[in-house]
Amino acid sequence: MTAIKIINARLITDLRIVNNTCVIVEKGKVSYVGPYIETENMPVIDAKNNYLSPGFIDIHVHGGGGADFMDGTKEAYLTIAETHAKFGTTSMTPTSLSSTNEELMASFQAYESALKENKKGAKFLGIHLEGPYFAHSQKGAQDPRYIKNPEKEDYEKILSLSDKITRWSAAPEVTGGFEFGEYLKNKGILPSIAHTDGIYEEIEEAFERGYTHMTHFYSGMSGVTRRNGMRYAGAVESGYLIDDMTVEIIADGVHLPASLLRLIVKVKSPSKIALVTDAMRAAGQNVSESILGSLQDGTKVIIEDGVAKMPDRLNFAGSIATCDRLVRTMLKLTDVSLVDAVKMMTKTPAKIIGVEQKKGTIAVGKDADLVLFDDDIHIKLTMVEGNIVHNVDENSLFYHRQ
C-alpha cells in the first residue's frame, strides 16, 4: 500500500500518551500525526483504542524461530526477521558469536543476500559483532576456542569482509583493547564493552577511547574486585559512575531480577538504557533443547524457566525473549511508566546506534515503523516502513472510508 490511515489510537510519544490520534502513512513514511482528519479513498485501520507505538528496535539479537545468524544462510536471516516481527520488532542488528573468520564471512554474505529479499520481517540496521576479543574469565556461553586478544591484522581483515558492521563488543582491558576501541571509533563503528573483567580505571579510559556503551549490562562483567586486599569498582559500578555511558539490559525477568532492574532505571534513567532480547534461536519456539551458535559448530543448550542455559546449568546461554516480553517485564517488575518502557525499546536504542533521525519515534518524515498493541502488550499489528508484516486480525482492523 502506498498510503494508509490509522485512527482511534492511543499514541505513545517519548513524553506522553495521546488519545484518539490519527496517523497517516505515505510511501513508507509518516506524513501526518494529529487529530482525526477526513481523507478520500484511503485504506483505514481502526486501532480501537489500542496503543500505537514506534516499532521496537532490538540492537542485540542472535536468532529466533529455530534459526541463528551464525547459520550463515539467507533463510536463517529471513526466518529470524519474520519471527521477531510478530512480536513488535521492526528493526534489529544481527549479532554474531565468537567464531572462526570463515563463519563470520558466511554470515556476512548471508546478510547481504537477505537484505534484498527481506520484505516480511524486521529490517536490518547493520551487523553487531560480539567477540572474539574477550576476557576468558568472563566468557559466559562464548566458545573459549575462539576467544583471543585484538590484533590489528586480525580485525582489519574481518572489517574488510563487510562494510555493514556498525558495532563491535569487546573487553577493553585485554591487550590491544584500548587501541581497538579507538580504531573502531575512527571508522564510525560503535565499540561496546562486553565480557570484561575491567576495573573502573580501565573502563574510564575505555570510555575516553570510544567505548560509550555496555553490552548486556551485568551479564559477563565484573563487579567490585579485590586485588592485594584493595577493593576496586568493577565494570558494573563503572556503568553507574560514568553518567554518559549507555547500557543495554536483557529485561526478560530472568537475567536480571526486579531489584536490579529497578536499580538500573533509578541510576541510569530510560534515556541511557536500551532493552535487548539477546535472543538465541529458540525465541518464538516451544522447545526444551536448542543450539547456541551455528548448527554446524554450535553448543547444545537446554531451555527452561524462560531462558536458555548451558547443559550444566551454571551459566545462561542467551535469552529466548521477544521485545514485547521485555516491555511487559519492565512494567510488571519496575515502577517505570509505559512511556518510559517503550522509550527504552525505541528511541534510546535508535540513538545508541545512530538511526534516531529516521527511527525510534512517530513523527512526520520518519520511517513508518509502527506497532499496535493492547494493555497487556500483546501485539496486534506490526508495520515496517509502511508495509504491514504482521496482523492478528486483518478483517476486524481494516475498512474503507469513502
- In tens, the pLDDT along 63-80 reads 999 999 999 999 999 999
Inter-residue contact 248 to 276 (CB < 8 Å) = yes
Q: What does the pLDDT read at residue 381?
A: 97
Q: What does the pLDDT read at residue 221?
A: 96
Q: What does the pLDDT read at residue 142?
A: 87
The CA–CA distances, whole Å, from 42 to 38, 39, 157, 400 equal 10, 7, 51, 7
% pLDDT > 70, the chain = 98
Q: What does the pLDDT read at residue 213?
A: 98
Tell me the average pLDDT across 248-269: 97
Give residue 399's pLDDT band: very low, low, confident or very high (50, 70, 90). low
Inter-residue contact 51 to 82 (CB < 8 Å) = no
56-352, which class in CATH? alpha beta
Question: Of the candidates 240, 321, 229, 336, which has an alpha carbon nearest to the alpha carbon of residue 282?
Answer: 321
Question: Of the candidates 23, 58, 2, which has an alpha carbon nearest to the alpha carbon of residue 363?
Answer: 23
Question: Of the candidates 365, 374, 367, which has an alpha carbon nearest to the alpha carbon of residue 90?
Answer: 367
What would the grid cell of residue 396 be? 476486524
Q: What does the pLDDT read at residue 41?
A: 84
Each residue's pLDDT tens digit, 271-289 = 999 999 999 999 999 999 9
Inter-residue contact 256 to 327 (CB < 8 Å) = no
Tell me the average pLDDT across 88-109: 96
Give me the residue spans of the domains in the chain: 3-53+362-401, 56-352
Q: CA 132 to CA 155: how far, in whole Å? A: 10
Each residue's pLDDT tens digit, 179-188 = 999 999 999 9
Q: CA 360 to CA 219: how far, in whole Å? A: 26
Q: What does the pLDDT read at residue 122?
A: 98
Q: What is the pTM of this model?
A: 0.96
The beta-strand segments (E) located in 27-164 are 29-34, 42-46, 51-54, 56-61, 63-64, 67-68, 89-94, 123-124, 127-130
Q: What does the pLDDT read at residue 294?
A: 87
- CATH architecture of residue range(s) 3-53+362-401: Roll (2.30)
Inter-residue contact 362 to 30 (CB < 8 Å) = yes
Q: What does the pLDDT read at residue 396?
A: 56
Each residue's pLDDT tens digit, 144-158 = 999 999 999 999 999
Q: What does the pLDDT read at residue 402?
A: 36
